[in-house]
């Protein structure tokens, strides 16, 4: 998945073509953001930050002015139609909230693969520095004063290792998103809807050939605050992969779904994540069930957020 490759090697998702996945992706402040007393909840706790309570999907919150946050985001992709396939991409970011509406987050990416016996892919096992990215977020609508929240996301990036195959590349790309969320029940039930677009140009070092890819995703999730520090939910994503940087030639699609969680260990430390399975999909020219050309059987996410 371009979005996950983008998010994690320049890094929100491992759902793209494993042979040419533009790098930049997924993400912001933790779901354990704590700010003001929550209605109907113990006074020791405060309002939930929605950014990371939805798994791969993102809430509109970006933190408070002057807040500094360090995030370690890890995305894993597992399973092809045959052989052994496991890939990992980690994006490490420092996030600076400069105002009520604007945040920047420079970061660098690492990736690793364990590939054996996959048709069309070279056997490979390695961990390496894979790229860098700069995330920019602007909160256009504040859910505290409007019926919903909306934050715009842009993340240009550069990559030197393909997250999916582990092969050396030169890659330039970016991802763009509109992040909507809404509080359905005060301090209890939250919903999010995201529209993601990723594009990139990749030069394969071995052949010196350039290729262009792009991806579109629609994401939705709902979460319930079991306790102020523990939020559980369910997320789903529909991803479409294309040859060409402008959604030119449709290559295949996939639907992923799975449970999500977010847990505030303390006011300064939070963890969140999800495990999603491909439940439907099809690659162009392949009539078998599921799309295991551009995507994987399973995709997982685990984040650690530190607030300062």
Residue-wise pLDDT tens digits, 138-175 = 999 999 999 999 999 999 999 999 999 999 999 999 99
pLDDT of residue 47: 79
> Residue 25 falls within a domain, yes or no?
no
pLDDT of residue 25: 37
pLDDT of residue 3: 53
- 16/127: higher pLDDT: 127
Say yes or no to pLDDT of 212 above 80: yes
How many domains does the chain fold into?
A: 1
Rounded mean pLDDT of 89-115?
A: 98
> Residue 258 falls within a domain, yes or no?
yes
Percentage above 70 pLDDT, the chain: 85
> Residue 227 falls within a domain, yes or no?
yes
- For 79-96, b/e burial (b = at least 16 CB within 10 A) is bbeeeebbbbbbbbbebb
Say yes or no to pLDDT of 42 above 90: no
> Residue 192 falls within a domain, yes or no?
yes
Q: What is the CATH number of the domain that holds 201?
A: 2.40.160.40
* Residue 62 lies in domain: 47-307
Q: How many whole angstroms from its chain centre is CA 122?
A: 26
Rounded mean pLDDT of 102-111?
A: 98
Task: Supply the pTM of this predicted model.
Answer: 0.86
Collapsed DSSP state (helix, strand, coil) of residue 248: coil
> Residue 198 falls within a domain, yes or no?
yes
pLDDT of residue 220: 98
> Residue 230 falls within a domain, yes or no?
yes
> Residue 1 falls within a domain, yes or no?
no
Percentage above 90 pLDDT, the chain: 84
* Residue 300 pLDDT level (bands cut at 50, 70, 90): very high
246-280 tens-digit pLDDT: 999 999 999 999 999 999 999 999 999 999 999 99
On average, the pLDDT of the chain sits at 88
> Residue 236 falls within a domain, yes or no?
yes
């Amino acid at each position: 998945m371009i979005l996950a490759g983008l998010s994690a090697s320049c890094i929100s998702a491992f759902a793209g073509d494993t042979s040419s996945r533009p790098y930049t992706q997924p993400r912001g402040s933790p779901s354990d953001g704590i700010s003001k007393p929550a209605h109907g909840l113990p006074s020791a706790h405060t309002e939930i930050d929605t950014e990371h309570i939805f798994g791969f999907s993102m809430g509109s919150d970006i933190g408070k002015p002057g807040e500094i946050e360090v995030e370690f985001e890890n995305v894993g992709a597992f399973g092809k139609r045959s052989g052994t396939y496991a890939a990992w991409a980690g994006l490490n970011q420092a996030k600076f909230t400069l105002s009520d509406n604007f945040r920047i987050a420079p970061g660098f990416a690492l990736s690793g693969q364990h590939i054996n016996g996959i048709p069309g892919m070279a056997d490979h096992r390695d961990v390496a520095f894979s790229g860098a990215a700069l995330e920019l977020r602007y909160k256009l609508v504040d859910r505290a004063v409007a019926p919903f929240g909306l934050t715009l996301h842009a993340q240009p990036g550069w990559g030197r290792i393909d997250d999916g195959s582990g092969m050396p590349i030169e890659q330039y790309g970016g991802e763009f998103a509109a992040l909507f969320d809404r509080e359905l029940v005060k301090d209890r039930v939250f919903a999010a809807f995201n529209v993601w677009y990723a594009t990139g140009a990749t030069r394969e070092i071995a052949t010196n050939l350039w290729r262009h890819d792009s991806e579109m995703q629609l994401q939705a999730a709902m979460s319930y605050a079991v306790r102020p520090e523990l939020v559980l939910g369910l997320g789903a994503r529909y991803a479409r992969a294309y040859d060409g940087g402008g959604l030119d030639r449709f290559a295949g699609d996939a639907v992923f779904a799975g449970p999500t969680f977010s847990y505030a260990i303390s006011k300064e430390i939070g963890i969140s994540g999800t495990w999603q399975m491909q439940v439907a999909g099809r690659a162009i020219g392949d009539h078998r069930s599921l799309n295991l050309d551009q995507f994987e059987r399973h995709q997982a996410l685990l984040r650690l957020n530190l607030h300062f």
